[in-house]
Structure 1
Amino acid sequence: MHGMKIEDFSSKREYEIFERAKNQILKCGMEFKTYVRKDYLELDLPNLNDNISDFERLKRHIKNHLNCSNVFCRLPILRKIPQLLREADFKVTITHIPRGVGKTTIIDIEKGDTTDKIYGVAVDIGTTSVAACLVDLYNGELIAKASSGNAQIKYGADVINRIMYSTKGNGLQELNHAVIQETINPLLNKMYMDSGIRKEQVVSFVTAGNTTMSHLFLGLYSNFLRMEPYIPAFVKTPFIKASELNIEVNPETFIYLIPCVASYVGGDITAGVLSSGMWNTEDNILFIDLGTNGEIVFGNKEYLMTCACSAGPAFEGGEISCGMRASGGAIEKVKIGSDYEPIISVIGNEKPLGICGSGIIDLICSMMFAGIIDRKGKIVKNLKTNRVRFDENGIGEYILVFKEQYDLDRDVSITDVDIDNFIRAKAAIYSGITTLLNNLGMDFTMIDKIYIAGGIGNSLNIGNAVKIGMLPDIDQHKINYIGNSSLMGCYLTLMSEDARHKLEEIANHMTYVELSVDPLYMDQFVSACFLPHTDIEKFPSVKKLLDKSI
């Protein structure tokens, strides 16, 4: 398998994360061999003495040369065979999926030898954002990448609101249309345009999402997910044809949806655990997905415990007045001086259009230490700066970028309401960690490593995340950002049938803890809705810094 190029990624850090995940799979002895195969065939020409049907001729050759006695195909492939064989002088390439010993299913047939051209797509369906990559299945190289907001956002920022909308009239169909026709297919077409690859050449598709996104992707009734006892319609689906969902790839392509675990822990977490490698270590690993559902996994090769804490979309810029995804124009780093003036870094060195999750963490942390906000997250009045203002209702606002600086339509700012939304999101994560560990009779001292995943941005400052009370105050060398682990897991599954089998083992191995029935969780949540926490003794390193800043 060829190595990836740094220029294929948005940053060197993302490249290093990708290489680490790939190497973990290889070190485990797994083979990078996709479940889809391509073989070039030179069939015997028909004559009066050998006048079997075209399909029987094809099957005979496959049996003799590929050792498959049971060959299947669907009607669209059968319709292609007669003319295509003759146009190609009976020299063709079949794309097929072996299904056990001596069995295979043909999903495409082409003229000539095209065995060096085989492509697949990996898609992470997030509640707020969707990311995809187009991959050369022959050598594993990344051909194109694309991402966008999930068009379902107009029906609700979180999964509960979308589930409720899905029960109204044509709501379910609208949500399914939004994620496939308005989000995934445009991303696919953009990648085809960028790469020059035709959709008919894409013969493998792996996707993952939380359990609600997975249901809505398939157009399944999902209302029971939010009702006790929180039962999903499925956790693992059979392979589904792309034509059944109208996805813009080869219509005979099988769609593989990564298995979910429970009502609020989906295939995106299964994929993330795979790519993190925590399933293959004796260390106690804490895996945190900083997405809308705020899923957390704790464990190692012996056990995996998981929960979800409904953090909301703030980590990806949702429900923040000037929030946006970690894409071009997003402020990803912020530092505020004693004069209340900010220094910012913008993704792509473009003009600032808004602020993404990593930038919001930096901003709130800097505002706290600069004295712009108090420990409740409220903007302080009577500061000597034109960057702070209050509306007629007393809601404070800090101006990060004045619109006149870059000829923008509005100032880029953060308000008391935004800060409150973000504090609730970080409190959900911290209280989820605390409650999950408590269920295991463990505490922060027993954590060997923390892996942070999600689309929060490659510039996530771990130290600042600790200072605002989002992550526990432990040795920060133990904490690592591993990027979009769901997309990474989809890629690994796309490239390796061994990884797919391991993935299904992981899903079966995880034990789900329902936080909504644990009274400790709400107590912990309320205590964590403070900067960094109502009990400052839980954050000794932050306490020292705050004492110095007074």
Structure 2
Amino acid sequence: MIRVKFIPENIEINCDYGDNLLEVARKADVFIDAPCNGNVSCGKCKVKLIKGKVDTKKTYHIKDEEWNEGYILACNSKVIEDIEIEVPSKLSSSMDKMKIEDLSTERDKQIFQRTKKLLIDNNMKLKSYVRKDYIEIDIPNLDDNISDWDRIKRHLRNYLGYTKVFCRLQMLRKIPHILRQSNFKVTITHIPRGNDRTTIVNMEEGDTTNRLYGVALDIGTTSVAACLVDLYKGELIAKASSGNAQIKYGADVINRIIYSTKKDGLDQLNRAIIHETINPLLNKMCKDSGVDKNEIIAFVCAGNTTMSHLLLGVYPDYLRLEPYIPTFLKAPFIKASELELDINPETFLYIVPSVASYVGGDITAGVLASGIWASDENVLFIDLGTNGEIVFGNKDYLMTCACSAGPAFEGGEISCGMRAASGAIEKVKIDRDTFKPNLKIIGDTKPEGICGSGIIDLIAEMMIIGIIDRRGKINKNINSRRIRFDEHGIGEYVIAFKEDYDLEKDITITEVDIDSFIRAKGAVYSGASTLIESLGMDFSVIDKVYIAGGIGNSLDIEKSIIIGLLPDIDRNKFSYVGNSSLMGCYLTLMSEDARYKLEECSNAMTYVELSVYPSYMDEFVSACFLPHTNIENFPTVKKILEV
């Protein structure tokens, strides 16, 4: 056995000769960011070898000075003797510091109220499908000696009109104790189906009819956000969010699907989302609000199709293999106990239905919350997250597609990129004369990297003042210490010098990084363009553009248009709709009418598979330019560049 010690966590673990260092860290529950899931392609799993030796090779991700200091890639190193590894703090702590959209900002609250009004205006009732009733049951005696369960059914038939009453085994086991402890005065929580049928899911002593709670949950590839809801008042009484613990198995769905095919991979991914992510959020909300976990009796969640499969522990590999077939789009109601969720075990979990392999329930929930289904106008809905999903339509039709943007908008595939967390650069303005950037950093602390909104600002600024050309190549004629080239002629721009901020190394963006981001933005633009073109239309028909996803809160619309991520149309048509997935889950939790509308939207959406659409690749190649090979598509940007 070989001993591996990780610092500063001071965690030690035994492993076998030749074990992969990244896998050893995962087994030790030491978080090391590995967006590419060990493919040696992202360079983010960089750690420092303090003692001992490993079997490794130097890659282009590690500079000579770093190599001399002992830096290695965890995914590219095999353990061959006792070693001590230092994990940089930004790798191990980024999960805890993530900035996540959870309906807490003032703008989110306004969107929240507007969305609730939309349902009411469309004659939908904001009333939960779960009911609570206080009942005083006849106490048994020798003359009235029917069973406890028959006694309950008799009472519900005589006083509430339910002729068909059901419960499950776990509930049945609780009945004899609760009835006698409460002197047969109890509150039942039940789920009616029609006027004469109901299922009892909880029973409490005394009158607790004023306490009824549910959870809305958005399972993102990168982050997870939850709300605890008072189902009587419709109020959010607690919120919690965190990074998705599955991140350690890859930043995007493809890498996680691949990991699920390994031995115990699916179980590890399932455990990461339930036991390491969702249950801690549930416990935090219960603690913050004073709500007992057994009082949570309704649960609605949404995620992309892969996240839904991994949540249920369903093998997802066929999602990524042609012809891209999911095991399910609409899951049955699942009991909380079946998933080991830390709430009332009788609670039914409703998973918002997906549309296709790469358009999931988070988009269905977003469509419900955004109100496209009720709009007379043509609406373009774009979700900018780890995946890029797009919906176009109105009350008469809904078209949707998914584009392979990759994790670039979350900072993935960018050497200096990071998720939106404390230390991430989220806004950039470059001085035209000195080429010095003015940085806005999340948390007002020293910079550690740059997140998606910051990368958009940076590339737009670099293009406007001529640091890069429209191909994303750095101008070699500029004389500035911020612009430099390596031995291969690959250029980079220094965003932050290490001596200015007391950093371990300079924060830079390279031509390779810029090229990766251009491909990501090109995928989104060409996806939207192709989707609208499939209807014989173009961007001129758009009346509104809704931007959803974590990046949207800090997104600069003007600069997004300048780089060609968004179409060059009237800026007043753009608006941010927050975490529309979480909002849609809340509405579904609060209203059975909303759930029916949600499922109607899911069935109504027509999915366009871009990979087989004839003109998509041509449009994608054209969009892999700043802002586009056809500058006439961007008239306002053309004027800016001419100036």
**How high is the TM-score relative to the length of structure 1?**
0.93
Distance (whole Å) between structure 1 residues aligned to residue 282 and residue 446 of structure 2: 27
- Residue 328 and residue 112 in structure 1: after superposition, are their counterparts in 2 closer, same or farther (change >3 A)? farther
Distance (whole Å) between structure 2 residues aligned to residue 48 and residue 327 of structure 1: 67
The answer to whether the 8 Å contact 1:128/1:292 transfers is yes
Cα drift, residue 150 of structure 1: 2.1
| 1:466 alignment counterpart | 561
Distance (whole Å) between structure 1 residues aligned to residue 288 and residue 471 of structure 2: 47
Matched, 1:93 2:193: no
Which residues of 2 match residues 260-299 of structure 1 at below 5 A? Answer: 260-299=354-393
Distance (whole Å) between structure 2 residues aligned to residue 155 and residue 313 of structure 1: 14
Distance (whole Å) between structure 1 residues aligned to residue 472 and residue 259 of structure 2: 32
Cα drift, residue 142 of structure 1: 1.4
| 1:525 alignment counterpart | 620
Cα drift, residue 98 of structure 1: 1.0
| 1:542 alignment counterpart | 637
Distance (whole Å) between structure 2 residues aligned to residue 28 and residue 474 of structure 1: 30
Cα drift, residue 350 of structure 1: 4.7
The answer to whether the 8 Å contact 1:149/1:325 transfers is no
RMSD: 2.1
Distance (whole Å) between structure 1 residues aligned to residue 185 and residue 445 of structure 2: 51
Cα-to-partner distance string for 1:221-275 (whole Å, 9 max, x where unaligned): 2222222222221111110101111112211110100011112111111111100
Correspondent of 1:108 among 178, 202, 206:
202
Cα drift, residue 419 of structure 1: 2.1
- Residue 319 and residue 289 in structure 1: after superposition, are their counterparts in 2 closer, same or farther (change >3 A)? same
Cα drift, residue 402 of structure 1: 4.0
Could you say what secondary structure the match of 2:467 adopts? coil
| 1:505 alignment counterpart | 600
Partner amino acid for 1:295?
A: E
Could you say what secondary structure the match of 2:551 adopts? coil
- Same amino acid, percent of matched pairs: 70
The answer to whether the 8 Å contact 1:14/1:458 transfers is no
Unaligned 5+ runs, structure 1: 1-6
Number of equivalences = 542
Could you say what secondary structure the match of 1:424 adopts? helix
Could you say what secondary structure the match of 2:554 adopts? coil
Matched, 1:480 2:575: yes
- Residue 522 and residue 91 in structure 1: after superposition, are their counterparts in 2 closer, same or farther (change >3 A)? same
Distance (whole Å) between structure 2 residues aligned to residue 310 and residue 428 of structure 1: 6
Distance (whole Å) between structure 2 residues aligned to residue 26 and residue 318 of structure 1: 41
Could you say what secondary structure the match of 1:380 adopts? coil
Correspondent of 1:514 among 598, 609, 634:
609
Matched, 1:435 2:530: yes
The answer to whether the 8 Å contact 2:301/2:350 transfers is yes
Cα drift, residue 413 of structure 1: 3.9
Partner amino acid for 1:43?
A: I
Matched, 1:150 2:257: no
- Residue 88 and residue 545 in structure 1: after superposition, are their counterparts in 2 closer, same or farther (change >3 A)? same
Matched, 1:170 2:264: yes
**How high is the TM-score relative to the length of structure 2?**
0.80
Cα-to-partner distance string for 1:362-387 (whole Å, 9 max, x where unaligned): 22212222322222223334544444
The answer to whether the 8 Å contact 2:102/2:241 transfers is no
Could you say what secondary structure the match of 2:536 adopts? coil
The answer to whether the 8 Å contact 2:384/2:552 transfers is no
Larger-Rg structure? 2
Distance (whole Å) between structure 1 residues aligned to residue 159 and residue 422 of structure 2: 51
Unaligned 5+ runs, structure 2: 1-100
| 2:157 alignment counterpart | 63
The answer to whether the 8 Å contact 1:332/1:457 transfers is no
| 2:343 alignment counterpart | 249
- Residue 350 and residue 113 in structure 1: after superposition, are their counterparts in 2 closer, same or farther (change >3 A)? farther
- Residue 228 and residue 82 in structure 1: after superposition, are their counterparts in 2 closer, same or farther (change >3 A)? same
- Residue 230 and residue 546 in structure 1: after superposition, are their counterparts in 2 closer, same or farther (change >3 A)? same
Which residues of 2 match residues 343-382 of structure 1 at below 5 A? Answer: 343-381=438-476
Partner amino acid for 1:189?
A: N
The answer to whether the 8 Å contact 2:484/2:492 transfers is yes
